[in-house]
């Protein structure tokens, strides 16, 4: 028995992994990369790594793997990418090379596929500091226009299904990264950006949008601001003679008055009517963009396929038909705080 | 035959069953597979147990059957060990050669097989409970990222009957080896509902998180799912934990196979451990592994887990009881080996 135990312990000693790591790992001299920036340059790929303590490394390479290898050689400590949970993509890279990055992360043992993707409009802000902290702040903030996130896995899924998805967009203004709507990616390639009302409409179409503000003006000229508490979307096929000839997206929205004097019942009805119009316009503008870019980021195909019978879906050519399918957005809103209503 | 508490023996068999069950599971779209395998396993177990189907035929064929079962133990153990070590290598950077990790696991299994089966069963019960909790945790953590609409329609693609057959065969085959170790006949059915429900929930989580197309593209959908679950501020991913946990499940299978070999081969049983190590370390191409994983393992498990015992049941019923051979001996020293 003793000899077996000795052999077993000797085998375990071989598995400690002490010999395969660099000296920096053993001594704790490690640069933990929290955010990674990837963009195109003339020569190939430009990579920037931001550490949690403000440290910044940058390198160029022929591919993502080559660039990361060069980054590993930089600095004084062991560069570890296992904590990189934010990936910043330059606009040029997102247009052409996204599938390369996704394929790399899918195989890489350090960078997790749960890392969030952000698309920077125009060029990568190489000189930016503390990007990791800023992105974490943005990711945790429920600001209007940013409630949807996109991870590498979600992008992998969109590419595998030949579908479309949204990723939050950023702009570099006044030495700070700011939210700038959404980037629309079809089959993993950037096709355009949704801004302002379009971005808010896209959130509503995806059944999100909590925190959006809706400003209305009552007939007596008093301004009232409503906030979206929650929203849900139901997709209904419009059928004629057993074939699909359109779809209706019915969005139910619960609102709360956040600014303005207490409302009478009549004023509340008027406020709700105006809010429904505004929200409907937002959704319609986002749908128009989706059809223009042929990017079904709402997942309409799956909703409609589930709602239609096999016979009704048989004649549908979604790949060609989505752009021209008549789509209708309908909003029904409720103000969720009846205590705010005054007696008339 | 050997003194192992029925509850612990059942846990040992179910812990060992998890290894081939996770291997033969469809990547996505087959959430109904474990639910359909549940009544199939239960019915097969009742049928074989009631009819004492472990007994039948004569000594010559019993000896041949023993050799076949031992050879399959080597194939099954070697393939599962190879898959387990590869899974660890996919999740983390192995600083050593994979065969060293395989050797460590086999040595551990041999050492455990030199003790008592009761101790192995007690250990396996903890492994089973820990694995079920870990897999359940992965399902729960993945719920918030689920895209529920991708599960619709619920019956898209129909039923994967090959998957049902493979899963049923995997559980029943391990139960036959469990029958070699204890008179309990391969463990009870008390863990059948939770295991099947959990496997079904795992497939739903994979479908909802990765989708059918992506799950079909990645090598190990369960590992990919675990790379996406985490708790903000504590851990971001769980693939290394899962890979290590599933290696324990593989170890439970190896210990069961070695104990089964010990009952069949006597003092030559360590050669089975050596053969499993060789089978796990031999160079096999990726296409060869796919063939093993998708075809040879499910078909072999089904044949040795259900078809052969059923055949023996029919033959045993047809003949009188005097000239029987046994997959499981009726009493010590009165069997095929």
pLDDT for A337? 59
The CA distance from B201 to B135, in Å, is: 9
What residue in B sits closest to A110 (Cα-Cα)? B92
Q: A291 pLDDT band (50/70/90 cuts)? A: very high
Q: If DSSP states are collapsed to H, E and C, what string results for chain B?
A: CCCCCHHHHHHHHHHHHHHHHHHHCCCCCCCHHHHHHHHHHHHHHHHHHHCCCCEECCHHHHHHHHHHHHHHHHHHHHHHHHHHHHHHHHHCCCCCCHHHHHHHHHHHHHHHHCCCHHHHHHHHHHHHHHHHHHHHHHHHHHHHHCCHHHHCCCCCCCCCHHHHHHHHHHHHHHHHHHHHHCCCCCCCCCCHHHHHHHHHHHHHHHHHHHHHHHHHHCCCHHHHHHCCCCECCCECCCHHHHHHHHHHHHHHHHHHHHHHHHHHHHHHCHHHHHHHHHHHHCCCCHHHHHHHHHHHHHHHHHHHHHHHHHHHHHHHHHCCHHHCEECCCCCCCCCCC
pLDDT for B323? 41
| Residues 6+ positions from B16 with CB-CB distance below 8 Å | B124, B174, B177, B178, B249, B252, B253, B255, B256, B257
User: Is A161 in contact with B211 (Cβ distance < 8 A)?
Assistant: yes
Mean pLDDT of all residues in A163-180: 89
pLDDT for B6? 86
Reported as a single tens digit per residue, the pLDDT across B261-314 is 988 787 888 999 999 999 999 888 888 888 888 899 999 999 998 898 888 777
User: Is A153 in contact with B94 (Cβ distance < 8 A)?
Assistant: no
With contacts defined as CB-CB under 8 Å, which chain B residues touch A7?
107
pLDDT for A276? 94
What residue in B sits closest to A103 (Cα-Cα)? B218
Mean pLDDT of all residues in B127-143: 94
pLDDT for A82? 84
What residue in B sits closest to A19 (Cα-Cα)? B95
Peptide bond preceding B148 in cis form (omega within 30 of 0): no
Q: Range with the lowest mean pLDDT among A5-14, A210-219, B32-41?
A: A5-14
Shortest distance, CA B74 to any CA of chain A (angstroms): 21
Mutation site, B116, B153, B240, interface A, largest A CB count within 10 A: B153
Q: B326 pLDDT band (50/70/90 cuts)? A: low
pLDDT for B135? 95
User: What b/e sequence results for B300-321 when a residue is b if at least 16 CB atoms lie within 10 Å of its CB, and e otherwise?
Assistant: bbbebbbebbeebbebbeeeee
With contacts defined as CB-CB under 8 Å, which chain B residues touch A112?
227-228, 236-237
Reported as a single tens digit per residue, the pLDDT across B249-258 is 999 999 999 9
Structure tokens at B306: 């259900």
DSSP letters of A54-107?
A: S-EEEEEESSHHHHHHHHHTSSSSEEE-TT--EEEEEHHHHHHTHHHHHHHHHH
Reported as a single tens digit per residue, the pLDDT across B161-188 is 888 999 999 999 998 888 888 765 555 7
Of the candidates A1, A19, A162, which has its C-beta nearest B114's C-beta?
Answer: A1
Residues A284/A201, Cβ–Cβ less than 8 Å = yes
Mean pLDDT of all residues in B38-62: 69
pLDDT for B127? 96
Residues B205/B225, Cβ–Cβ less than 8 Å = yes
B286 touches chain A (CB under 8 A): no
Per DSSP bridges, beta strands A86-90 and A30-40 are parallel
Reported as a single tens digit per residue, the pLDDT across B83-133 is 999 999 988 877 778 898 999 999 999 999 998 999 999 999 999 999 999
User: What b/e sequence results for A18-28 when a residue is b if at least 16 CB atoms lie within 10 Å of its CB, and e otherwise?
Assistant: eeeeeebeeee
pLDDT of B330 higher than 60: no
Give Cα separations from A224 to A27, A275, A308, B25, B198 (angstroms). 60, 10, 41, 56, 50
Of the candidates A15, A114, A302, which has its C-beta nearest B104's C-beta?
Answer: A15
B92 touches chain A (CB under 8 A): yes
The CA distance from A293 to B208, in Å, is: 26
Reported as a single tens digit per residue, the pLDDT across A28-67 is 678 888 899 999 887 789 999 998 777 888 898 899 999 9
- Helices in chain A by DSSP H: which ranges? 2-14, 23-27, 64-72, 91-96, 98-107, 131-140, 152-160, 196-205, 265-292, 300-307, 310-314, 318-321
Percent of chain A with pLDDT over 70: 90
- Please choose, from the candidates A13, A1, A109, the residue with its C-alpha nearest in 3D space to the C-alpha of residue B103: A13
pLDDT of A193 higher than 90: yes
Shortest distance, CA B249 to any CA of chain A (angstroms): 19
The CA distance from A277 to B331, in Å, is: 83
List all residues of chain B from 43 to 82 with a beta carbon under 8 Å from chain A: none
pLDDT for B332? 44
Reported as a single tens digit per residue, the pLDDT across A132-147 is 888 888 887 755 555 6
pLDDT of B333 higher than 50: no
Question: pTM of the predicted model, to two decimals?
Answer: 0.82
User: Is B150 in contact with A302 (Cβ distance < 8 A)?
Assistant: yes
Chain A / chain B CB contacts < 8 angstroms? 89
The CA distance from B169 to B335, in Å, is: 24
Shortest distance, CA A104 to any CA of chain B (angstroms): 13
User: What b/e sequence results for B73-104 when a residue is b if at least 16 CB atoms lie within 10 Å of its CB, and e otherwise?
Assistant: bbbbbbbbbbbbbbbbbbbbebebeeebbbbb
Q: Which residue has the tokens 């660099």?
A: A22
Reported as a single tens digit per residue, the pLDDT across B201-229 is 999 999 889 888 888 888 889 999 998 88
User: Is A4 in contact with B114 (Cβ distance < 8 A)?
Assistant: yes
């Amino acid at each position: 028995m003793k000899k077996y135990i000795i052999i077993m312990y000797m085998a375990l000693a071989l598995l400690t992994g002490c010999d395969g790591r660099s000296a920096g790992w053993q001594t704790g001299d490690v640069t933990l990369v929290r955010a990674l920036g990837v963009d195109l340059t003339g020569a190939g790929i430009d990579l920037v790594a931001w550490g949690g303590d403000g440290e910044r490394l940058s390198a160029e390479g022929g591919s993502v793997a080559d660039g990361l290898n060069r980054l590993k050689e930089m600095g004084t400590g062991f560069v570890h990418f296992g904590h990189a949970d934010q990936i910043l993509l330059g606009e040029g890279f997102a247009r052409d090379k996204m599938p390369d990055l996704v394929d790399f992360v899918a195989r890489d043992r350090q960078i997790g596929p749960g890392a969030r993707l952000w698309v920077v409009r125009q060029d990568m802000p190489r000189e930016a500091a503390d990007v990791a902290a800023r992105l974490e702040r943005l990711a945790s903030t429920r600001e209007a226009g940013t409630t949807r996130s996109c991870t590498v896995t979600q992008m992998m899924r969109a590419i595998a299904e030949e579908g479309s998805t949204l990723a939050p967009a950023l702009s570099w203004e006044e030495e700070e990264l700011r939210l700038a709507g959404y980037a629309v990616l079809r089959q993993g390639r950037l096709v355009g950006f949704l801004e302002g009302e379009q971005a808010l409409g896209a959130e509503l179409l995806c059944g999100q949008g909590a925190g959006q503000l809706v400003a209305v003006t009552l007939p007596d000229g008093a301004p009232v601001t409503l906030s979206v508490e929650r929203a849900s979307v139901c997709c209904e096929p419009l059928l004629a003679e057993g074939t699909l000839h359109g779809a209706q997206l019915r969005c139910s929205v619960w609102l709360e008055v956040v600014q303005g004097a207490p409302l009478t019942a009549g004023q509340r009805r008027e406020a709700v009517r105006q809010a429904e119009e505004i929200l409907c316009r937002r959704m319609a503008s986002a749908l128009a963009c989706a059809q223009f870019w042929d990017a079904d980021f709402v997942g309409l195909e799956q909703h409609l396929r589930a709602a239609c019978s096999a016979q009704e879906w048989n004649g549908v050519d979604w790949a060609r038909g989505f752009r021209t399918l008549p789509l209708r957005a309908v909003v029904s809103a409720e103000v969720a705080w009846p205590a705010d209503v005054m007696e008339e | 035959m050997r003194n192992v508490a029925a509850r612990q023996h059942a846990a040992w068999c179910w812990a060992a069953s998890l290894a081939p069950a996770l291997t033969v599971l469809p990547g996505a779209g087959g959430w109904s597979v474990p639910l359909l395998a549940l009544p199939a396993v239960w019915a097969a177990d009742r049928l074989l147990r009631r009819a004492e189907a472990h007994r039948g035929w004569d000594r010559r064929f019993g000896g041949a059957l023993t050799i076949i079962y031992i050879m399959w133990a080597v194939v099954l153990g070697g393939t599962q060990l190879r898959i387990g070590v590869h899974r660890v290598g996919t999740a983390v950077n192995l600083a050593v050669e994979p065969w060293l990790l395989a050797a460590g696991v086999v040595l551990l299994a041999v050492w455990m097989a030199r003790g008592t089966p009761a101790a192995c069963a007690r250990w396996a019960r903890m492994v089973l409970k820990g694995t079920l909790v870990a897999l359940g945790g992965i399902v729960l953590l993945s719920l918030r990222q689920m895209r529920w609409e991708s599960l619709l329609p619920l019956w898209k693609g129909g039923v994967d009957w090959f998957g049902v057959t493979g899963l049923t065969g995997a559980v029943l085959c391990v139960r036959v080896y469990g029958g070699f170790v204890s008179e309990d006949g391969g463990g009870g059915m008390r863990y059948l509902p939770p295991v099947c429900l959990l496997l079904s929930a795992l497939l739903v989580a994979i479908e909802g998180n990765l989708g059918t197309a992506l799950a079909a593209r990645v090598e190990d959908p369960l590992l990919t799912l675990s790379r996406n679950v985490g708790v903000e501020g504590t851990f971001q991913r769980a693939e290394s934990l899962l890979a290590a946990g599933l290696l324990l499940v593989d170890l439970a299978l190896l210990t069961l196979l070695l104990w089964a070999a010990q009952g069949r081969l006597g003092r030559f049983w360590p050669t089975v451990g050596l053969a499993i190590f060789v089978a796990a370390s031999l160079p096999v191409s990726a296409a060869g592994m796919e063939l093993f994983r998708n075809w040879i393992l499910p078909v072999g498990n089904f044949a040795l887990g259900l078809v052969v015992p059923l055949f023996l049941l029919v033959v045993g019923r047809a003949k009188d009881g005097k000239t029987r051979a046994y997959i499981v001996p009726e009493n010590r020293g009165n069997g095929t080996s």
